[in-house]
Amino acid sequence: MKIKLGVFFGGRSVEHEVSVITGIQAINNLDRGKYDPVPIYMARDGAFWTGEAAGKIEEYSDIPSLLKKCVRVVPVGREGRADLVLYPPKRFGKNIYDTLDAALPAVHGTNVEDGALQGFFRTIGLPFAGCDVEASALGMDKYAMKILFAAGGLPVLPGVKLRARDFAADPETMLDEIKGKTGWPAIIKPFDMGSSVGIRIAENREEARDALEYAFSFSPAAVAERAIINLREINCAVLGDADEARASECEEPVSSGMILSYEDKYVSGGKDGASKGMTGLKRLLPAPIPPEMREKARALAVEAFKALDCAGVARIDFLLDSDSGELYINEINTIPGSLAFYLWQPLGLSYSELLDEMVRLALKRERERDERSFSIDTGILKHYSGQGSKGSKR
Amino acid sequence: MISDLFYAILGVCFLFCMTMLLIRSLHIFQLNSYKPAVQRKWVADNIFEWLIKTVWVVLALPAAKELGSFGFVFAAAPFLLVGLLWLPKKAKKPLVYTGRVKRLIFTLALICLACVLIGALEAGSRAKICIVMVFIALAAPYAVLAANFINRPVEKAINNRFINDAKRIIRDMPGLIVIGVTGSYGKTSVKFILGKLLTAGYETLVTPESYNTTLGVVRTVRERLRATHEIFICEMGARNPGDIREICDIVKPRCGVITSIGPQHLESFGTIENVIKTKFELADALPGDGVLFYNADNAYAAGRRVENAATVGYGTENGDWRASEISASARGTEFTVTGPDGVRMRLSTRLLGRHNVLNITGAVAAAVYLGVPVSDISAQVRRLDPVLHRLQLLGAPPRLIIDDAFNSNPEGAGAALETLSMFEGLHILVTPGMVELGKRQYELNRVFGEQAARVCDFVALVGEKQTQPILDGLRLAGFPEASVRVCDTLEEAIAAADAFRQGTPRVILLENDLPDNY
């Protein structure tokens, strides 16, 4: 008997296409001796589609045509698994396309990586890999993350949270605030977007004004931080959960401009121009940093992972100030592109083994959840007469 | 032709009547667990009620005989009447239309339809057919047995298919660790305790409730085992030699637990030697690298040599794993478990009773062997839930209650008294006595009274007549008269228990609850 693992990718997110790559890569690397992967493509309107064609990367060059080869389903929870029920249902015959034992979310960005999809699985009772709802939500909020890390004594750059509404009402005060708190140059980014979308560096007040307009076009809030002038970026992944977490090798992604752009990350591919996701990005792996710096980054990565109570595999992105030698945590990615498998290969952990571990952790979490009791028979429904105007919660 | 029409009316009414009668007979058969012997006994016990509603069909005979072809219409009337008398009523436990029931319906339908059709085709035989119809209607509960007999080869083939399916599923999961649990008593408790301990580290499946027959195990494997499961704890019950070997052939256990061996089901086993031999079929089925965990305090279990696998004993007096320093309080039971290689843990559980300490020790031994960390074991033991009404600890100091209402046997009652003695404070017993003990009812209740005298400070008996033997036992042991109260109701007895030496902390044991018809 093989474990039926639903791999979910796509979704109503800016990073929809990248997620398709992550999802299909994962499917191709699952141990077929242990798993029966079920590809589930989430279309831009939120519908779930599945079928053999959904697992083939070449089909995604023409999505309308792909959908004709797929069936639309709705995952319905049943006894700790999920039935994929055909939608619309057939009049005659079986309406359950398949039954999943667990889910692997391979989604990126707002509306999917931020706890929305995780919350859905938790509601229907299906075990799922990766971070739980709370860690996913925090991991998507650049400002909340920053405060939590700072509270845990982890090094972060001081930042300020800015709201689009305030900018519309009084831009000058906001620009003064940025000048006061972070100074120039400042980096301005939407507070909840992934993959470097909407990020600009502002060298002066006018550039900051433009940068804020740009950021607020993506999100109702933004974060401004001091921009490091001689910046290097170091990434490190962590695998595990609150009980057991270990760090991967460190990499230094290489950019074309001052910061890695969306184009850098996902459009620059191999010679044939085909996009390979994070694997196609130019990178230095292992990162050319001294061993003490490597160990420091790896240790900080694990602390950051635990500070947010993460699970599965997450990638922690650091900012290295070449001038001062200081390492700062930039952000955590709770579902990294390509699940950061390439960061584990140097340590001898294959992609297949990485996925195995993620599924094991997912089942462990669900087991522990089941052990907690969630209902106490208070009998209030038996005695509630429905006539009081004050309700029953004191 | 008119007579064909009248015969058709008779046919329809007959089929209607048979449908009602057979649904009811099938329902009874299902409630009797599809056992022919039980069905026959049911008919014997209920023959009067059955005939009162059914005998009217014989009126069809004179109608058919005397009135010629017109008679068939009048013959239809008794069948219609009886059918209406047997319209299904709302039942507490309705008939479940399982595959087996549907197959029985098919066979019964064939019999009835064949009967009607012969008469339809051969007008001359219709009078004789009428006689057959009356006969079938009167013998409906036996008709079900006949259909059951006819269906036997089909049922056997289906069962074999299910068994082979279960074997295939187990073969398809080579990494699954199967642990067999058997014993004359304690196997359901040990199974659930072990399941709770192992779930700390593994995806664990446990056979549900008390599904411990071959078909129950097969059903569990086919319906509940999933690809994600890592451990399968399989309870194995036996009534006859070979029963356990049959289950082991299907699930291929890697480890085994023998919780106890005693003189149970001797009607089918014959001798205690057969009981021992059968339980040890589990040990025989283990592979060379398997382990048998056994109750070292039980002489029968400890006395048998096992050559083909490793053995680990557990107990309170003997064994590699030993439970000691047992004490009971309002929080439950605390005890120390020591094992090989200097392992030592102090455990705390809400379960009561020396037998539960023993059960937990056995489960701990197996859990440690399977790699569950000691800290997790300790946490899980704390989380064990007591079974409702089985030595269930209720209340709070200074008034604790041990609710043992579901106990129904003398050993359990004795163990409950022993548990009571472990507590501090006044020991009070409230009981209506034990019933359904056949010839030994007086003797066993009297012995219970003698045991109570040694442990209790006060005894409140419910129901003068049935607790007389207990009173006799108390007196025989010299228990002071002033410390006994005979009451009419449970409420009275509890009030008396509370009133005795009011103010002093106490523990009240509620032993046995009688079913409503006593």
Nearest Cα of chain A lies from the Cα of B412 at a distance, in angstroms, of 30
A386 has a pLDDT exceeding 90? no
Nearest Cα of chain B lies from the Cα of A38 at a distance, in angstroms, of 15
A279 has a pLDDT exceeding 60? no
Q: What ipTM was reported for this prediction?
A: 0.82
Residue written as token pair 């041990």: B402
CATH at residue A275: 3.30.470.20
Is B228 in Cβ contact with A3 (below 8 Å)?
yes
**Annotated domain spans of chain B:** 2-153, 173-383, 392-511
DSSP classification of residue A183: -
Is A139 within the bounds of a domain?
A: no
Q: Identify the H or E element spanning B247.
A: helix B243-251
B169 touches chain A (CB under 8 A): yes
Q: Which of B199, B225, B227 sits opposite A2 (nearest CB)?
A: B227
Helices (H) and strands (E) in chain A, counts: 12, 16
CATH at residue A169: 3.30.1490.20
Q: Which of A1, A3, A363 sits opposite B172 (nearest CB)?
A: A1
> Is it true that B173-383 and B392-511 share their CATH fold?
no
Crossing angle between the packed helical segments A291-307 and A142-151, to the nearest 10 degrees:
110
B10 has a pLDDT exceeding 90? no
Q: Confidence class of residue B517 from pLDDT cuts 50, 70 and 90?
A: very low
Amino acid at B19: T
Q: How far is CA A387 from CA A390, A391, A392, B12, B386, in A?
A: 9, 9, 11, 55, 38
User: Number of folded domains in chain A?
Assistant: 3
Is B225 in Cβ contact with A367 (below 8 Å)?
no
Higher pLDDT, B396 or A101: A101
**pLDDT tens per residue across span B309-353:** 999 999 999 999 999 998 888 888 999 999 998 999 999 999 998
SS3 (DSSP) at A2:
coil
Q: Please tell me whether residues A236 and A334 are part of one structural domain.
A: yes
Least confident piece of the model among A113-127, A176-190, A287-301, B236-250? A176-190
Q: Which CATH architecture has domain B173-383?
A: 3-Layer(aba) Sandwich (3.40)
Is A32 within the bounds of a domain?
A: yes
Q: Please tell me whether residues A95 and A121 are part of one structural domain.
A: yes
A82 touches chain B (CB under 8 A): no
Amino acid B85: pLDDT: 85
Average pLDDT over residues B85-112: 88
Q: Please tell me whether residues A332 and A243 are part of one structural domain.
A: yes
Is A64 within the bounds of a domain?
A: yes
Amino acid A329: pLDDT: 96
Cα A286 to Cα A343: distance, rounded to the nearest angstrom: 8
The mean pLDDT value of chain A amounts to 88
Q: Please tell me whether residues A343 and A315 are part of one structural domain.
A: yes
B173 touches chain A (CB under 8 A): yes
B388 touches chain A (CB under 8 A): no
Q: Confidence class of residue B81 from pLDDT cuts 50, 70 and 90?
A: confident
- Interior CA angle at B277 toward B275 and B279, to 5°? 70
Q: Which of A1, A81, A363 sits opposite B203 (nearest CB)?
A: A363
Is A367 within the bounds of a domain?
A: no
Average pLDDT over residues A335-362: 96
Crossing angle between the packed helical segments A171-181 and A205-216, to the nearest 10 degrees:
110
Nearest CA in chain A to B169: A1
Enclosing domain of residue A109: 3-128
Higher pLDDT, B57 or A322: A322
Amino acid A393: pLDDT: 53
Q: Confidence class of residue A10 from pLDDT cuts 50, 70 and 90?
A: very high
Nearest CA in chain B to A1: B227
Q: Confidence class of residue A375 from pLDDT cuts 50, 70 and 90?
A: low
**pLDDT tens per residue across span A180-205:** 888 889 999 998 876 677 888 889 88
Topology, domain B392-511: Protein-Tyrosine Phosphatase; Chain A (3.90.190)
Q: What tokens does B237 get? A: 């019950």
Amino acid B323: pLDDT: 95
Amino acid A275: pLDDT: 46
Q: What tokens does B337 get? A: 């478990």
Strand runs labelled E in B339-465: 344-349, 392-396, 399-404, 426-431, 458-462
Amino acid A269: pLDDT: 43
Q: Please tell me whether residues A189 and A242 are part of one structural domain.
A: no
**pLDDT tens per residue across span B30-55:** 888 788 888 888 888 888 888 888 88
Amino acid B56: pLDDT: 82
Q: Confidence class of residue A383 from pLDDT cuts 50, 70 and 90?
A: low
Q: Please tell me whether residues A248 and A336 are part of one structural domain.
A: yes
**pLDDT tens per residue across span A264-276:** 555 544 334 444 4
Q: Please tell me whether residues A110 and A206 are part of one structural domain.
A: no
A281 has a pLDDT exceeding 80? no
Q: From chain A, pick out residues whose CB is under 8 angstroms from the CB of B227.
A: 1-4, 101
Q: From chain A, pick out residues whose CB is under 8 angstroms from the CB of B199.
A: 367, 370-371
Strand partners, A312: A240
Q: Confidence class of residue B367 from pLDDT cuts 50, 70 and 90?
A: very high
Q: Identify the H or E element spanning A124.
A: helix A116-124
Cα A249 to Cα A294: distance, rounded to the nearest angstrom: 8
Average pLDDT over residues A68-73: 96
A336 has a pLDDT exceeding 50? yes
Q: Please tell me whether residues A235 and A297 are part of one structural domain.
A: yes
Sign of CA dihedral A9, A15, A21, A26: negative
Q: Tell which residue, A353, A312, A356, has the closest CA to residue A334.
A: A312
Q: Which of A196, A226, A256 is the last residue of a domain?
A: A226
Nearest Cα of chain A lies from the Cα of B31 at a distance, in angstroms, of 28
Is A1 in Cβ contact with B173 (below 8 Å)?
yes
Q: Which of B169, B199, B226 sits opposite A101 (nearest CB)?
A: B226
The mean pLDDT value of chain B amounts to 89
Is A299 within the bounds of a domain?
A: yes
**pLDDT tens per residue across span B278-321:** 999 999 999 999 999 999 999 888 888 889 999 999 999 999 99
Q: DSSP string covering A312-363, please? A: EEEEEEEEEETTT--EEEEEEESS-GGGGGGGTGGGT--HHHHHHHHHHHHH
A376 touches chain B (CB under 8 A): no
Q: From chain B, pick out residues whose CB is under 8 angstroms from the CB of A367.
A: 199, 203
Least confident piece of the model among A218-232, B351-365, B504-518? B504-518
Amino acid A145: pLDDT: 92
Amino acid B515: pLDDT: 59
Q: Please tell me whether residues A83 and A66 are part of one structural domain.
A: yes
Cα A38 to Cα A103: distance, rounded to the nearest angstrom: 9
Amino acid B516: pLDDT: 53
Q: Please tell me whether residues A55 and A92 are part of one structural domain.
A: yes
**pLDDT tens per residue across span B260-276:** 988 777 777 778 888 89
B210 has a pLDDT exceeding 80? no
Is A117 within the bounds of a domain?
A: yes
Amino acid A38: pLDDT: 98
B80 touches chain A (CB under 8 A): no
| Interfacial B residues in 318-357 facing A (CB < 8 Å) | none
Is A373 within the bounds of a domain?
A: no
Q: Confidence class of residue B209 from pLDDT cuts 50, 70 and 90?
A: confident
| Contact indicator for B62, B131 with CB cutoff of 8 Å | no
A contact test, residue of B171, B173, B192, B228 with most A CBs within 10 A: B228
Q: Please tell me whether residues A255 and A321 are part of one structural domain.
A: yes
Residue written as token pair 């704890």: B233
Cα A173 to Cα A181: distance, rounded to the nearest angstrom: 12
Cα B471 to Cα B431: distance, rounded to the nearest angstrom: 11
Average pLDDT over residues B470-484: 93
Q: Which of A199, A226, A253 is the last residue of a domain?
A: A226
Q: Confidence class of residue A278 from pLDDT cuts 50, 70 and 90?
A: low
Is A352 within the bounds of a domain?
A: yes
Q: How far is CA B323 from CA B161, B184, B313, B317, in A?
A: 45, 21, 12, 8
Q: Which of A175, A210, A226 is the last residue of a domain?
A: A226
